[in-house]
Chains A and B, each alone.
Chain A
Amino acid sequence: MATSLSRRDRLGTIGARSGFLRNNYKLIPGLYCVGSPGSESPVFVTANYKLSFDALRQELSGIEAWILVVDTRGINIWCAAGKGTFSTAEVAYQVKNAQLDKIVTHREVILPQLGAVGVAALDLKKSCGFRGIFGPVLARDIPKFLQNGKIADEAMRTVTFRLSERAVLVPVEICLLWKPLLIAVMTIFVLSGLGPEIYSFEDAWQRGLAAASTSVLAVIAGAIVTPLLLPWIPGRQFWLKGIQTGLIAGLVAYALFSSEVGRLAGFGLFLWAISTASYLAMNFTGSTPFTSLSGVGHEMRRGLPLQVGAAGLALLCWVAGPFF
C-alpha cells in the first residue's frame, strides 16, 4: 500500500466527511502492508473504515509494517469498539484468518488505544496467541511511539478536541440534517399561508421565506458556530450553549423580519431560532470525545422539554401572527 493519498483517496475523504459516502466507505478486511515488511515487522490493527485506514497508512511512510484490517462494517475504531464490532473476537478471528503466526515470528499486535473500548488486550493472547499492546490514540504519533520503544507518553494517550478536529465534524452534522430540515421548512411554508383571508399563497411564499431563513440562521448557530466555538461558549451543558448562540440567531431573525411579519410572528421566529439551535447544539454531544452518556441523558431531561415547549409556542405565535 502507498503511504500517501491519491486524488481518488482525497475525493473519497471529502465524500465521507460530507456524509454522502460515509456509511459505505470501507475496504476488504485482511492483511495489508506498507513498504516491504518481513517476519520481524510490527503489525498494526485498524478498522475497515477507509478514513481510519488512510489515517494509519499515511503515517507509516518509511516504516515497514503489516496492517491487519478487521471488519467493523466501515465504522471507525472508537465507535466500532463501542458498538462491539471492533472486538477481541474479531481481532482474533482476523489474526487467524490471515495466518499471522506464519507471517511474523513475534507474537504481538499493536492496537489503536481507542480500540480498548472493545478489545481486552489481555484476553487477546488467550484467543489467538498474539498479545495486544496499545499504541497511541492518533496514528500521527506512531513513528514517535516506535522510536520510544513502543511506549506512548501521556500526550499520545490523551484524546484531544482541537478546533480542526471539531471543524471536520461540521459537514456531516449539516448533511444529516437535510431531511428533517426539508420537512420542517415545507411544513412552515404551508402553515405560513394561513391568515385572515383563510389562505394566501402570496403569504405562504413571503412569510415562508422569512421562516426558512430563520431556520438556516438557527442551523448556523447550533450546528456550526456552537461546535466551532465550543470551549469559549459559557456553560457545560450543550443545550445551554445552544441557547446562547440561538439567542443571537433569534435576535438577527427578529431584526430582519419582524417589520415584515409583525411582532408576534417575529417573536415566534425568535423562539424557533433558539429552540432549534439549542437542540442542534445538544445533538452535537454525540460527536464529541468527552461527553458521557449519563451526562447527555441528564441535560436532555432538562433541555428537551424546554426546546419542545419553545418550538410549540413559536408555532403558535407564527400561526396567530397574521390575525393580530
Chain B
Amino acid sequence: MKDFRYIDGAAILKLDRESCTGCGMCVTVCPHRIFALQDKKAEIRDPDGCMECGACAKNCPVQAIYVNPDDGCGCAALIIGRWLSRITGKTPTGCSC
C-alpha cells in the first residue's frame, strides 16, 4: 500500500525461489501488490508492504511461500486474550471481530 506504511521488518514472509514455478498466482492475489515475476520466477518487491494476509501462500501450488501462520484480525483485544491464555492455559476467548 503506497499511502499507508506499517512497521518495517516486522512481517514474516518467505519465498523459496528454487521451487517457484512462476505461475503468478501470488502476483494476482496480493492486495498490496508486493510480488512481481522476474525471469519466470516470483520475486518479493516490497516485503515491508506485507500484511500477512496469507493469500499468496494459500494460492501457491508448490508451497514456495511461507507467511506467519497465526490467524486473526490483529486487534489488540484478541492478542491480549491470546497472551493471557498462554499464561492461564485456557483457550483464548475471541474478540468480537
Using a CB–CB cutoff of 8 Å, the interface residues on chain A facing chain B are 23, 78-79, 81-84, 113-114, 116-122, 134, 137, 154, 157-161, 176, 230-231, 236-237, 279, 282-300, 304
* Contact residues in B for A298 (Cβ distance below 8 Å): 7, 10
Q: How far is the CA of A294 from the CA of B53 in the complex (A)?
A: 11
Interchain nearest-CB distance for B20 vs A (Å): 14
A290 touches B32 (CB 8 A): yes
B51 touches A291 (CB 8 A): yes
**Which B residues from 24 to 55 make CB contacts under 8 A with A?**
25, 28-33, 49-55
A295 touches B31 (CB 8 A): no
A117 touches B10 (CB 8 A): no
Q: How far is the CA of A237 from the CA of B7 in the complex (A)?
A: 7
Q: How far is the CA of A279 from the CA of B97 in the complex (A)?
A: 17
Q: Mark B45-68, 1 if CB is under 8 A from A, else 0.
A: 000011111110011010000001
A82 touches B51 (CB 8 A): no
* Contact residues in A for B53 (Cβ distance below 8 Å): 78, 82, 114, 117
Pick the residue among B50, B51, B59, B78 that contacts A289 (CB under 8 A).
B51
Q: How far is the CA of A292 from the CA of B72 in the complex (A)?
A: 10
Q: How far is the CA of A261 from the CA of B72 in the complex (A)?
A: 42
Using a CB–CB cutoff of 8 Å, the interface residues on chain B facing chain A are 1, 3-8, 10-12, 23, 25, 28-33, 49-55, 58-59, 61, 68, 70-80, 95-97
Q: How far is the CA of A300 from the CA of B33 in the complex (A)?
A: 27
Interchain nearest-CB distance for B31 vs A (Å): 4
Q: Is the interface of B mostly helix, strand, loop or mixed?
A: loop
A285 touches B7 (CB 8 A): no
B31 touches A287 (CB 8 A): no
A286 touches B76 (CB 8 A): yes
B32 touches A159 (CB 8 A): yes
Contact A292-B50, Cβ < 8 Å, known A119-B58, A236-B5, A286-B73 = yes
A116 touches B55 (CB 8 A): yes
Q: How far is the CA of A82 from the CA of B80 in the complex (A)?
A: 19
Pick the residue among A113, A237, A283, A288 that contacts B29 (CB under 8 A).
A113
B1 touches A295 (CB 8 A): no
* Contact residues in A for B5 (Cβ distance below 8 Å): 236, 290
* Contact residues in B for A297 (Cβ distance below 8 Å): 79
A176 touches B58 (CB 8 A): no
Taking each of A120, A291, A292, which has the highest tally of chain B beta carbons within 10 Å of its own beta carbon?
A292
* Contact residues in B for A81 (Cβ distance below 8 Å): 55
A158 touches B59 (CB 8 A): no
* Contact residues in A for B73 (Cβ distance below 8 Å): 79, 82, 286-287
Interchain nearest-CB distance for A170 vs B (Å): 14
Pick the residue among A160, A279, A293 that contacts B72 (CB under 8 A).
A293
A293 touches B1 (CB 8 A): no
* Contact residues in B for A287 (Cβ distance below 8 Å): 73, 75, 97
Q: How far is the CA of A279 from the CA of B79 in the complex (A)?
A: 13
Pick the residue among A114, A160, A286, A296 that contacts B97 (CB under 8 A).
A286
Q: How far is the CA of A300 from the CA of B4 in the complex (A)?
A: 19
A295 touches B10 (CB 8 A): yes
Q: How far is the CA of A121 from the CA of B33 in the complex (A)?
A: 18
B1 touches A294 (CB 8 A): no
Interchain nearest-CB distance for A276 vs B (Å): 12
Q: How far is the CA of A300 from the CA of B83 in the complex (A)?
A: 11
A114 touches B59 (CB 8 A): no
B3 touches A286 (CB 8 A): no
Contact A117-B25, Cβ < 8 Å, known A82-B73, A236-B5, A282-B76 = no
Q: A133 — nearest CB in chain B belongs to which residue?
A: B28
